[in-house]
């Protein structure tokens, strides 16, 4: 089981038992614990369960201050039924608790807070399309100003350059670069 260092300090704990191991987290980062608190009384319902906690310094305090691990679940006699979505804690003869995960998932974790998932797939595809256009000049030439999207600043710059470009006046000198075989025959005569 894990307890953040901020929670341990708030509870008044400052002396920890040394532990000579490191934790590899889900993001594959490695953390060294500050120490261990052994046989801490953890009250679940009316029953107190002695629990060992690894004290870990975290970047920010999590919304759930304690993470209860396998040793706690074994001590509490936990039975996890994934198919039915239930967790049963058998804390003695008189105390049996059942948590229905399906009911918990239907409600927000914090009262008064609402949660939703919005599909942004279409917007993401449009944005990726715009990012994949390699030639910003092509965007300026082929799209309307309102359609520039995320490339607006660069495309507007190209559009401004095209609009302010002055046409050249006067004759343009052209030089013949490639001689043809018929030109060579005329030169020989």
Q: Considering the chain, tell me which residue range(s) the CATH 2.40.70.10 domain(s) occupy.
A: 2-106
Angstrom distance (rounded) from CA 115 to CA 17 = 41
pLDDT at 117: 47
Does 88 score more than 70 pLDDT?
Answer: yes
Beta-strand pair 86-90/2-4: unpaired
Domain 2-106 in this protein, CATH class: mainly beta
pLDDT at 160: 76
Count the Cβ atoms, other than its own, within 10 Å of residue 37. Answer: 19
pLDDT at 36: 92
Proportion of the chain above pLDDT 90, given as a percent:
1
Angstrom distance (rounded) from CA 130 to CA 148 = 8
Is the entire prediction scored with pTM above 0.75? no
pLDDT at 186: 57
Does 188 score more than 60 pLDDT?
Answer: no
Question: What tens digit of pLDDT does each residue of 114-167 get?
Answer: 544 454 555 566 666 666 555 666 666 666 666 655 556 666 777 777 777 766
Angstrom distance (rounded) from CA 71 to CA 51 = 8
């Amino acid at each position: 089981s894990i307890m953040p260092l901020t929670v341990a300090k708030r509870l008044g704990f400052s002396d920890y038992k040394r532990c000579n191991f490191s934790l590899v987290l889900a993001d594959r980062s490695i953390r060294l614990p500050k120490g261990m608190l052994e046989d801490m009384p953890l009250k679940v319902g009316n029953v107190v369960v002695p629990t060992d906690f690894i004290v870990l310094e975290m970047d920010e305090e999590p919304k759930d201050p304690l993470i209860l691990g396998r040793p706690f679940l074994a001590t509490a006699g936990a039975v996890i039924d994934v198919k039915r979505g239930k967790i049963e804690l058998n804390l003695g003869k008189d105390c049996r608790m059942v948590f229905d995960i399906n009911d918990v998932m239907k409600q927000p974790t914090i009262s008064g807070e609402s949660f939703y998932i919005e599909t942004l797939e279409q917007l993401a595809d449009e944005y990726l399309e715009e990012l994949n256009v390699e030639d910003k000049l092509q965007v300026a030439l082929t799209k309307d100003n309102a359609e520039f999207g995320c490339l607006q600043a660069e495309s507007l710059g190209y559009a401004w350059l095209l609009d302010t470009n002055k046409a050249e006046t006067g004759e343009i000198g052209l030089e013949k670069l490639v001689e043809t075989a018929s030109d060579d025959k005329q030169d020989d005569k």
